[in-house]
Amino acid sequence: MENAWKKYNEKQKKEVFSFTEGYRKFISECKTERECVIKGIEIAEKHGFKNIDSYLAEKKPLKAGDKVYLNNKGKDLALFIIGKQPMENGMNILGAHIDSPRIDWKQHPFYEDHDIALADTHYYGGIKTYQWVTIPLALHGVICKKDGSMVNVVIGEDEQGPVVGISDLLIHLSRDQMQKTAGKAIEGEDLNVTIGSIPLKGEEKDAVKANILKLLKKKYDVEEDDFISAEIEVVPAGQAKNYGLDSSMIMGYGQDDRVCAYTSLMALCEIDNPEKTVSCMLVDKEEVGSIGATGMQSYFYENIVAEILELTEGYDYLKFRRCLANSKMLSSDVSAAYDPNYPSVNEMKNTCFFGGGIVINKYVGSGGKSGSNDANPEFIAEIRNSWDKNNISWQTAEIGKVNQGGGGTIAYIMAKYNMQVIDSGVGVQNMHAPWEVTSKVDVYEAKNAYVAFCKDMK
């Protein structure tokens, strides 16, 4: 593998740093799927994308070169640039997920214990619970009120304001805890967030909790019951950082999979008048199995493709099925980058490295490739050809040694339409930890690889 940094001149290096600075800001600000959709729309609109709702309402036709997006329930974003070729020739599709592992407040979160107010939680996605204690945490989310209004919540991101956190036992009294296996050291039910300690004057019972509810009432005009219809996500507080003395990497929350989401979106923003229709979908719920109305297994994407067919050349069932079957997709998700502290989990010929550029995974899954999409070599050859022609740095990898573990993505879900799909993405260290790490050059190469894919796939 040739390290991608080596191929750049000074001007190109600057371009890498400036592109990834935009990414650093994006993940600093967007820590929930909803925040990613809102910011994603803002970026897309700046690049000429229009909300498809108005086209649908007015039955306004779409023509080659038109750029539209769909906001699905505030949690998925699907974008399309209409191509010159008929839809039945298929689309070139980029996909990534915008949900990340985190800790959610329960429906009834609030309680008090000896003058400390806490919020009870249920974690989301696969986390090592011990990584989430004793660090500054923020609250991002929404509270939906009975009158139909929605309150946006962000607490813990401004320099002067407070953060919250989850406590851990002092080492001095941890004799029993330290004997436990890592998975048991911090129990999931014990991830309780500390939120206050001042009792409300004149209140007899749960006075600290009462005081916190009073503060929330003042700030957001919400009652305790309103948290029944709320989504409050507990995430690491603070900005993503430049990482390494040479600032060659980024340390930030939620890079799985917002690194692929951001680069896919930015790639689409660089494309004008494509031959084939190109599309990008940023989806929710990957970390919990892609289920639900906003997960990839939902019909929302299929539905919007049908609508677009109707607005371009007129809906036709066969054309619709052919469109999906003839499409090609990069299902982008992060890969496990080589970590010098833990070399034993990798088989070195089939591992991805920082500086190696975008990663393609022919298969993921676990055990005997169980649950894997396992892309066709004909398709891989077409991708190799495109990326080599465009001087893209790319590498192939598996997630660790055979039988070491594994992972899944959204690839198999789109493959059921009989389209060609392959897993690709960016290598990450500390995957699913509060602070994940990527290499800036890999982030930049991924974006360029996505542009090439959208333009070149026949």
Distance in angstroms (rounded) separating the CA atoms of residues 402 and 196: 47
Nearer to Mn ion, 23 or 80 (CB): 23
128 and 135 Cβ atoms separated by less than 8 Å: no
SS3 assignment, position 110: strand
Q: Which two tokens stand for residue 24?
A: 């650093």
- Scan residues 8-37 and list those touching Mn ion (CB under 5 A): none
What is the smallest separation between the CB atom of 426 and Mn ion, expressed in angstroms? 10
Which residues, including other chains, have CB under 8 Å from residue 317's CB and lie 6 or more apart? none
Residues of this chain, 33-92, that bind Mn ion according to CB under 5 A: none
Give least dist CB 333 to Mn ion, A.
4
What character string, x for contact with Mn ion (CB under 5 A) and - otherwise, covers 331-360?
--x---------------------------
DSSP notation for 261-298: HHHHHHHHHT--S-SS-EEEEEES-GGGTS-STTSTTS
User: Residue 235 Cβ, how far from Mn ion at the closest point, in Å?
Assistant: 14
Nearer to Mn ion, 333 or 398 (CB): 333
Containing H/E element for 108? strand 102-113
Residue closer to Mn ion (CB basis): 231 or 256:
256
**Least spacing, CB of residue 286 vs Mn ion, in Å:** 6
CA 74 and chain centroid, separation: 14
CB of 75: closest distance to Mn ion in angstroms? Answer: 16
Binding region for Mn ion (CB under 5 A) out of 1-9, 24-32, 246-254, 325-333: 325-333
For Mn ion (CB under 5 A), the number of binding residues is: 3
Closer CB to Mn ion, 127 or 222, in the complex: 127
CB 287 → Mn ion: shortest distance, Å?
5
Among the listed ranges 34-42, 56-64, 329-337, 433-441, the one in contact with Mn ion (CB under 5 A) is: 329-337
**Residues 60, 43: Cα–Cα separation, whole Å:** 23
Query: In the bound complex, what is the minimum distance in angstroms from residue 372's beta carbon to Mn ion?
Result: 15
**How many Cβ atoms from other residues are within 10 Å of residue 446's Cβ?**
31
Alpha helices in 313-370 (DSSP H): 317-325
Residue 231 within binding range of Mn ion, rule CB under 5 A: no
DSSP label at 355?
T
The least CB distance from residue 422 to Mn ion, in Å, is: 15
Contacting residue, 66, 99, 256, 423, with Mn ion by CB under 5 A: 256
The stretch among 65-73, 168-176, 180-188, 253-261 that binds Mn ion (CB under 5 A) is 253-261
Spatial distance between the Cα atoms of 124 and 432, rounded to a whole number of angstroms = 11
Neighbours of 260 (CB within 10 A): 32
Kindly tell me which of 97 and 328 has the beta carbon lying closer to Mn ion. Answer: 97
Q: Which is nearer to Mn ion, 66 or 257 (CB)?
A: 257
The DSSP letter of residue 198 is: P
The residue range among 46-54, 276-284, 326-334, 379-387 that interacts with Mn ion, by the rule CB under 5 A, is 326-334
Near Mn ion by CB under 5 A: residue from 206, 257, 284, 398: 257
- Binding span for Mn ion by CB under 5 A among 110-118, 200-208, 209-217, 256-264: 256-264
Strand partners, 138: 235
Query: Quick one: which segment of 76-84, 148-156, 255-263, 335-343 binds Mn ion (CB under 5 A)?
Result: 255-263
| Cross-sheet strand order for the sheet of 436-439 | 241-243, 249-252, 436-439, 427-429, 335-336
Nearer of residues 392 and 431 to Mn ion, judged by Cβ: 431
Shortest CB 443 distance to Mn ion, Å = 15
- Return the range that interacts with Mn ion (CB under 5 A); candidates 213-221, 232-240, 328-336, 398-406: 328-336
Q: How far is the CB of 125 from Mn ion (least distance, A)?
A: 6
Whether omega before 316 lies within 30 degrees of 0, making that bond cis, reads no
Nearer to Mn ion, 34 or 285 (CB): 285
User: What sections of 336-439 are H helices per DSSP?
Assistant: 377-389, 411-415
User: In this structure, what token pair is assigned to residue 104?
Assistant: 């959610």
Euclidean distance between CA atoms 451 and 428, whole angstroms: 21
Q: In terms of DSSP H, where are the helices of 313-376?
A: 317-325
Closer residue to Mn ion (CB): 256 or 442: 256
Q: And the tokens for 404?
A: 């070491």
Given a contact cutoff of 8 angstroms between Cβ atoms, the answer to whether 156 and 237 are in contact is: yes
User: Identity (one letter) of the amino acid at 88?
Assistant: E
Q: In terms of CB distance, is 76 or 333 closer to Mn ion?
A: 333
Q: Which residues bind Mn ion (CB under 5 A)?
A: 256-257, 333
